[in-house]
Chain A
């Protein structure tokens, strides 16, 4: 490769055939280049009347933002896009860790440039430490085709693989409708939200958007008081209730029974996860003997009531 000082106006910034990063944070890079200049030349290749960037998009964009008129570039003579891109892949992979979306775009472009899926599976997946399964490759390739908004969400929220796989089951409209809520949830809750929704959709043969338009969920969505984060969590809980109607009914009955028997708020009582075990657990704290005795006596008093017997029977009977 030849090193040449190249006019920036000779580079076609619209041609992103070799680009894999679409969400660059350039500020630090710009400060560094402004202070020390561009220390690592980018790689470009001639395509038609212009040159296209093979590797070094961030550096080139930073230099353009800094109004450089020319920058040092390695000129790649390679005419075949696949070969040029494979070089870009190597260069990128040795200088930094690539995130999910960058890998997705990279695999997709390699495929578009003519690389066999088998080679992706056999060579590229293990190279990047990804399990060598067709399912993994399918997920990356599908994510590369997501709409821009979903891609941005995946990038910004560092979305997990199971969530991405759930997003693959939705169409663009459905994804767009859900993103405002998913953005406010952590990874586990994102996964739950989508799992409940998709399961209900399959179970009841209902389109996802129709489920979101149901009265209870629509009320939450249209609320003018609730902040987005709370809306997201409330919708998740409504979906959970609909996904697990028997369990939710039992859990509601448990809570309302506790209110009915005036269970003390400073003594917690819990059932096992999903009521799978018969045992209940009671937990309280105390700072001295007097408080310990006081709480035990209150529990004894509750234990002697008819209501507690009824409550325990209702839990046991299911």
Chain B
């Protein structure tokens, strides 16, 4: 599949965001795209909320604005399950890819592809945050409220972030993507503390549920190139999804992964099973009528989100972990995203004592050499 890079159909620029270098860069690169100057973002976001498909319509348009809140936040994880002390950078919001299971579809207050251009505030906040977190090996990344690289051909955000974090060796910085938009990464100098990560899934799920995303093989090709460039890479099997034939489907990708990438260059692999707030179910039903993922045995978890009934999760995780460990043993650190201590204990045979323990477990190889 040829790579299709995102181009918005229209750009809205908040008047107060004009003049920022990133605004100028975007408007320069997308000079052929109709642009409208607005006073406040609420002027247009209110319109999208009324539409039949706010999430789908919002993806077509870009909003250039400023981050008025905090760029850097602790990853909220989910109540009742083990967190990993990760921090997120909310540089951009929303994603033009259209994955059926994506939680961002619920963020109806602003469904537009939003770029926060006040980078000076980002660097200031990062400086402050890092200076107030001494004696810790922090893990931080973009990619929580949007794909880290999907806009990179427009914003070149990765170039600046990599340049910033290269000089912060006690911080593990992660860019997380489903795309192959890696030109800027491949032209940057690698650094051991900068991890480029891909979300992976089985081919069947990628094709059916990850509309607009490159195939898994293409993602692995991109990961190979980035790894060869010298960056550590990471992979997120999240969300793992049950379907008829899932065991073979995931095994195929795990095989392909370890054929494509040297396991010793993999910083970590995370596993998480499908989970979402109940309100997302109707959105998936309406926006993706052919999807069947919401009809599996999903029950309310401790956090109120729908997730697979625990014995099904255990089987899913045990199978995937075995498939990984049969190939590479314990060479790659594995962790769960938003899971219970019981799942950790029963599948990975270890139960971290809190989020600091997971933070240590994942950063240990970086602190003492890999």
Contact = CB atoms under 8 A, between A and B. Distances in A.
Contacts, number: 57
For B296, B297, B301, B342, which residue has the most chain A Cβ atoms within 10 angstroms?
Answer: B297
B51 A134 contact: yes
B353 interface: no
Interface string B296-317: 1101111000000111101000
A244 B299 contact: yes
Given A276-B301, A277-B302, A318 B292 contact: no
Given A274-B309, A278-B342, A318-B314, A245 B50 contact: no
Interface string B192-225: 0000000000000000000000000000000000
A85 B297 CA distance: 49
Give the interface SS of chain A, mostly helix, strand, loop or mixed.
helix
A121 B292 CA distance: 31
Contacts of B132: none
A124 B137 CA distance: 55
Contacts of A203: 292, 295-296
A218 B283 CA distance: 33
Given A133-B49, A318-B310, A247 B297 contact: yes
A202 interface: yes
Nearest to A200: B295
A135 B311 CA distance: 36
B370 interface: no
B52 interface: yes
A274 B302 CA distance: 10
Contacts of B51: 134
A245 B297 contact: yes
Contacts of B299: 244, 247, 273-274, 276
A275 interface: yes
A134 B314 CA distance: 40
A122 B49 CA distance: 12
Contacts of B297: 243-247
A64 interface: no
Interface in A172-206: 199, 202-203
Given A133-B49, A133-B50, A138-B52, A275 B295 contact: no
Contacts of B310: 274-276, 318
Contact of B309 (A132, A134, A247): A247
A274 B305 CA distance: 12
Interface string A275-312: 11110000000000000000000000000000000000
A245 B301 CA distance: 17
Contacts of B301: 274, 276
A318 B343 CA distance: 12
A138 B311 CA distance: 39
A245 B312 CA distance: 11
Interface in A223-280: 243-247, 250, 273-278
A246 B295 contact: no
Contacts of B295: 199, 202-203
A246 B296 CA distance: 11
Contact of A121 (B50, B302, B342): B50
Nearest to B302: A276
A275 B52 CA distance: 37
Given A247-B297, A276-B299, A318 B311 contact: yes
A202 B286 CA distance: 13
Interface string B339-352: 01010000000000
A132 B108 CA distance: 13
Nearest to B108: A133
A132 B300 contact: no
Contact of A246 (B52, B282, B292, B312): B312
Contacts of B296: 203
Nearest to B53: A134
Nearest to B285: A202
Contacts of A278: 342
Interface string B264-308: 000000000000000000100010000010111101111000000
Given A245-B297, A274-B299, A276-B299, A134 B342 contact: no
Nearest to A273: B300
Contacts of A275: 309-311
Contacts of A318: 310-311, 314
Contacts of A276: 299-302, 310, 340
A199 B299 CA distance: 13
A140 to B, nearest CB: 14
B292 A274 contact: no
A274 to B, nearest CB: 4
Nearest to A204: B295
Contacts of B282: 165
Query: Which 9 interchain pairs have the tightest Cβ spacing?
Result: A318-B311, A203-B295, A274-B299, A134-B52, A247-B309, A246-B309, A199-B295, A132-B50, A202-B295
Interface of A: 121-122, 132-135, 138, 165, 199, 202-203, 243-247, 250, 273-278, 318
9 contacts: A122-B50, A133-B49, A165-B282, A202-B295, A203-B295, A247-B299, A250-B309, A274-B299, A276-B310
